[in-house]
Amino acid sequence: MTIPESHNDMLNKSVFWHIATTGPSGQLQSSPVWGGWDGEHFTFSLTKGRQKFRNLQANTNIAISGTDPENPYRYLEMRGEVVRVDEDPDKTFINSMAKKYMDADEYPYHQPGDERVVMVVKPSKTSQMG
């Protein structure tokens, strides 16, 4: 699965992506995240203490959508599965996202004891507009 060429540029912009996961009672949960792209996988950071991390441990299916910050009528949605969870003990990934989104060298909202991971998503379906 590849991202349509018409919307590939969004993966390098500072788009606020919304991830939708399924909670323990079957309810949906949607949360905004910063996102990265390695050419094949969508990546984002979580802490292990968050509900969305527990949701994805129980059900790896995920929907991700973002609106182009330069054109609110242009969006990209990806549906897929978390295929890997990478530990991020040195905060390398979240710091790279802080650089992308805030032009900061370090993520400023670290909490003592947070265990950061990188969720690696393989998109299997996309939809888009604009």
Name the band, by pLDDT with cuts 50, 70 and 90, for residue 49: very high
Distance CA 119, CA 86 (A): 7
Record the pTM: 0.94
Query: pLDDT tens across 52-111, in order?
Result: 999 999 999 999 999 999 999 999 999 999 999 999 999 999 999 999 999 999 999 988
Instruction: Inform me whether the pLDDT recorded for 113 exceeds 80.
Output: yes
Instruction: Inform me whether the pLDDT recorded for 18 exceeds 90.
Output: yes
Domain ranges of the chain: 5-129
- Note whether 107 and 97 are within 8 A (CB): yes
Query: Topology of 5-129 in CATH?
Result: Pnp Oxidase; Chain A (2.30.110)
Query: pLDDT tens across 24-48, in order?
Result: 999 999 999 999 999 999 999 999 9
